[in-house]
């Protein structure tokens, strides 16, 4: 997968645009600024946006090319982000250390997803939030992006199970029109989730 993402991010322009995901931006705009971890952050659009609001943005991805473009985007916007090249299955952040972990179109193999989500809960301070937007299982009928393997797509039950220790603030499945670069365009079936560590 690392090679896949390096090839995609080597193309001209930003694969998913330079602007943040709309739902992500709406949610962090409501919160008091703090520290945030963004796994699978690619070319950095969400981390750069968070940093522009004064958040301490920690991005991670396996793509060296993604990091180069993210750092260029940060420089263009006159902000600093901390971006590490790492496999999320092996990366470690301190327990109870951040205010938000945001999974924006971060899709995982089922054998690792549960552990990744459990680790993310551990990274959160009490009162911290998981913010997630991703494709749900109905996305297989669309051509607007996302994995073609149903096991990597989300359902409400799956998220309720993975994040059962959190207080659920939002969980909704909906259809939307994506306009995020050239790889997230058109009708999309998505799921949105917010959970708070109690």
Q: Over its length of 198 residues, how does the chain's per-residue pLDDT go in tens digits?
A: 788 999 999 999 999 999 999 999 999 999 999 999 999 999 999 999 999 999 999 999 999 999 999 999 999 999 999 999 999 999 999 999 999 999 999 999 999 999 999 999 999 999 999 999 999 999 999 999 999 999 999 999 999 999 999 999 999 999 999 999 999 999 999 999 999 999
Question: Across 2-123, where does the E strand assignment appear?
Answer: 35-39, 56-61, 82-85, 98-104
Residue 30's pLDDT is what?
96
Q: Look up residue 120 and give its DSSP letter.
A: H
Host domain of residue 172: 2-197
Question: Across the chain, where does the E strand assignment appear?
Answer: 35-39, 56-61, 82-85, 98-104, 124-135, 166-180, 184-197
The count of other CB atoms within 10 Å of the CB of residue 159 is 23
Nearest to 158 by CA among 114, 101, 94, 104: 114
Residue 21's pLDDT is what?
98
Residue 1's pLDDT is what?
75
Q: In what order do the strands lie in the sheet with 166-180?
A: 82-85, 56-61, 35-39, 98-104, 124-135, 184-197, 166-180
CATH number assigned to the domain comprising residue 27: 3.40.50.150
pTM above 0.85, yes or no: yes
Residue 44's pLDDT is what?
98
Report how many domains make up the chain: 1
């Amino acid at each position: 997968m690392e090679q896949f993402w390096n090839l995609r991010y080597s193309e001209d322009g930003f694969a998913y645009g330079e602007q943040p995901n709309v739902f992500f931006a709406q949610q962090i705009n409501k919160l008091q600024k703090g520290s945030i971890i963004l796994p699978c952050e690619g070319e950095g659009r969400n981390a750069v946006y968070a940093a522009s609001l004064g958040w301490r943005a920690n991005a991670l991805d396996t793509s060296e090319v993604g990091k180069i473009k993210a750092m260029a985007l940060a420089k263009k916007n006159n902000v600093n982000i901390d971006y590490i090249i790492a496999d999320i299955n092996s990366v470690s952040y301190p327990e109870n250390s951040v205010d938000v972990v945001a999974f924006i179109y971060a899709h995982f193999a089922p054998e690792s997803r549960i552990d990744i989500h459990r680790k993310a809960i551990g990274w959160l301070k009490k009162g911290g939030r998981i913010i997630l937007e991703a494709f749900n299982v109905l996305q297989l009928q669309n051509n607007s992006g996302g994995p073609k393997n149903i096991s990597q797509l989300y359902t409400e039950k799956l998220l309720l199970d993975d994040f059962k220790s959190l207080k659920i603030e939002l969980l909704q499945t909906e259809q939307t029109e994506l306009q995020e670069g050239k790889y997230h365009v058109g009708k999309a079936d998505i799921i949105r989730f917010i959970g708070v560590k109690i």
